[in-house]
A = this chain, B = another copy of it.
C-alpha cells in the first residue's frame, strides 16, 4: 500500500502495524480524526509514540491507509457475496450486497466514520471513494436496464440514491440507535427500492 512507510519485515513488526490500525480505526470512529491524537492511537495500541512513525509518515497517511484498506475489503466482500449467488437478477444481487454492507459496517464502524469525515480530512479520497462505488453500480444498472429488468432512469443518480439510502439507514441504526437493522426492517427498505427500480414489481 502506498501510504505506508515501511512494510514490517518481522512477525513482531506485523503485529505492531496491526495494533496501530485497529487502534486508529476505533479512535477515528469514536472521536474523529482531528480529536484523535497520535498519542491516543499509540496508547491504545500499547506502543510508544515514536513507533507510529516507523510505519506511517504522518497521521494523515494512516487515515488514508485505513480508508483505502477498509474500502477495498468492503468491496471485496460485497463482490464475493454476489458471486456466490448464481442469479442474474440485479435486484436480488443488490439485496445480498446491501446485507453484506450492513454486516461489514456494523463490524467496522470505523470505516463508516472515516469515510463520512474524509470530506474534510482528505477531500480527494472522499470523492474517489464514492465514485468508485458509483461506477460499479452504474455498470450493473445499465446491464439490468438492457435486460428490461429495471426502469430507464439515470444510472449515475440512481447509484447515489442507493448509496444515500444505505448510508443514512446505517447512520440511523448503527450510529444513532447503536444496533443493526433487523431483517424485517431491511426487507422493508428493499421493498421500497424494489418498487422504485423494477419495471414490473
Which A residues contact B (CB, under 8 angstroms)?
A: 31-35, 113, 116-117, 119-121, 127, 130-131, 134, 151, 153-154, 156-158, 160-161, 163-169, 171-172, 175-176, 181, 185, 188-189, 191-193, 195-197, 201
Contacts and interface: CB of A to CB of B under 8 A. Distances in A.
A176 B163 CA distance: 15
A166 B163 CA distance: 11
* Interface SS majority for chain A: helix
Contact of A189 (B127, B157, B168, B193): B157
A192 B189 CA distance: 13
A157 B176 contact: no
B169 A157 contact: yes
A157 B130 contact: no
Given A117-B117, A193-B196, A160 B169 contact: yes
12 contacts: A33-B120, A113-B119, A113-B120, A117-B119, A119-B175, A153-B189, A154-B185, A156-B172, A157-B185, A160-B172, A192-B196, A196-B196
Contact of A161 (B31, B35, B117, B192): B192
A192 B158 contact: yes
A172 B188 contact: no
A38 to B, nearest CB: 15
A188 B119 contact: no
B168 A181 contact: no
Contacts of A119: 32, 113, 116-117, 175
A159 to B, nearest CB: 8
A106 to B, nearest CB: 16
A172 B167 CA distance: 14
Contacts of A189: 153, 157, 161
